[in-house]
């Protein structure tokens, strides 16, 4: 696989969370809060920032646990370490560093540990809630960067394009992990380990009380 193709497909890899034995094991392993947990792929600093990102994306509400409650950072770290390709791992490492640097510059702080959830929310607004035109502009800059990599050119990653791609992919991964968590599946969605029937064109409220089916 060409380098550019591998990197452009990172979103597909993150989004297509197939329930393989490895992924199932990772989902199971993050059901309990492991004391003294140490990330295997991310550094402690990177894990701390990413944990804050996915917690802002999936916060705790009155009725539903959030990313921190479900220990999703443990799943994310394990997924990055054991499931994605080496090209994607390289991208994640680079993009995490770029995002942390961009955030520190934006909020005038020096250490990643000082980045707050408010700082993260500010960055999510800038990258995920930007106008379609701005997002398209960043995506185009990212594509130009990937093309240059494919051609062997030594180019500097476009900060905004990298951050946007990184956050989109991380959001997709976090949502997939959230939906696959046993607590969410069994307590907040309609859960049937072995579905026995299929009914088409039925009212969602009548069929499930308005709840989505668990994965």
pLDDT at position 140 is: 93
Give the predicted TM-score (pTM) of the model: 0.77
pLDDT at position 11 is: 43
pLDDT at position 56 is: 96
| pLDDT tens digits in sequence order for the chain, 215 residues long | 455 455 555 444 454 555 555 655 665 565 555 567 899 999 999 999 999 999 999 999 888 888 999 889 998 998 888 888 888 888 899 999 999 999 999 999 999 999 999 999 999 999 999 999 999 999 999 988 888 887 877 789 999 999 999 999 899 888 888 877 666 556 555 555 655 566 666 666 666 666 665 55
What angle, 0 to 180 degrees and rounded to 10, lies between the N-to-C axes of helices 159-180 and 132-150? 100
Instruction: Convert 27-94 into a string of H (helix), E (strand) and C (coil).
Output: HHHCCCCCCCCCCCCCCHHHHHHHHHHHHHHCCCCCCCCCCCCCCHHHHHHHHHHHCCCHHHHHHHHH
């Amino acid at each position: 696989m060409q380098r550019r193709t591998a990197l452009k497909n990172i979103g597909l890899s993150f989004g297509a969370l197939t329930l393989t034995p490895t992924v199932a094991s990772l989902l199971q392993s993050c059901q309990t809060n492991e004391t003294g947990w140490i990330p295997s792929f991310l550094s402690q600093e990177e894990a701390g920032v990413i944990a804050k990102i996915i917690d802002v994306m999936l916060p705790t509400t009155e009725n539903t646990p959030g990313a921190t409650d479900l220990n999703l950072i443990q799943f994310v770290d394990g997924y990055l370490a054991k499931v994605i390709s080496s090209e994607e791992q390289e991208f994640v490492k680079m993009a995490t560093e770029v995002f942390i640097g961009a955030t520190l510059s934006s909020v005038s702080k020096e250490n990643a540990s000082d980045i707050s959830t408010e700082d993260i929310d500010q960055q999510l607004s800038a990258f995920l809630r930007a106008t379609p035109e701005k997002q398209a502009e960043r995506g185009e800059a990212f594509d130009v960067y990937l093309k240059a990599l494919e051609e062997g050119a030594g180019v500097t990653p476009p900060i905004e394009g990298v951050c946007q791609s990184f956050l989109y992919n991380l959001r997709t991964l976090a949502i997939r992990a959230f939906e696959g968590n046993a607590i969410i599946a069994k307590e907040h969605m309609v859960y049937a380990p072995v579905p026995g029937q299929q009914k088409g064109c039925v009212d969602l409220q009548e069929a499930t009380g308005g709840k989505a089916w668990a994965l």
